[in-house]
Amino acid sequence: MTDIEDLLAQVQTHFASGQFLEARATIQEAFDLDPLNDRVREAYQNVYLAHGIRLSGVARELRRQEIDARGRPGEAFEDSDRVKAVFREVLGAFDKVLAANPDHVKGLSLKAEALFRFDRANRPQALAAYDAAIGALQRSVPAGSVREKGERNLGMGRRRIERPCERCDDTGFCAECGGSGWRTVLGFRKTCEACLGHGVCKRCGVL
What pairs with residue 188 in β-bridges? 185
Q: What is the pLDDT of residue 123?
A: 96
Give, as one character, the DSSP assignment of residue 122: G
Distance (Å, whole) CA 80 – CA 84: 6
pTM, two decimals, is 0.86
Cβ 204 vs Cβ 166: under 8 Å = no
How big is the CA angle at 118 (ends 114 and 120), to the nearest 5 degrees?
105
* Mean pLDDT of all residues in 140-162: 94
3-state SS class at 179: coil
Q: Of the segments 15-19, 120-124, 184-188, which one has the largest average pLDDT value?
A: 120-124
Q: What is the pLDDT of residue 93?
A: 97
| Close Cβ partners of 198 (under 8 Å, ≥ 6 residues apart) | 67, 174, 181, 205, 207
Cβ 110 vs Cβ 90: under 8 Å = no
pLDDT digit string, tens, across residues 67-81 = 777 655 455 678 899
- Per cent of the chain over pLDDT 90 is 68
Written as one string, the DSSP assignment of 50-88 is HHHHHHHHHHHHHHHHHHHH--STT------HHHHHHHH
Phi, psi of 200 (to 5 degrees): -110, 155
* Mean pLDDT of all residues in 175-183: 79
* Mean pLDDT of all residues in 144-161: 94
pLDDT digit string, tens, across residues 113-144 = 999 999 999 999 999 999 999 999 999 999 99
Whether the pLDDT of residue 164 is over 70: the answer is yes
Please name the residue ranges forming H helices in 119-144. 123-140
Whether the pLDDT of residue 84 is over 90: the answer is yes
3-state SS class at 141: coil
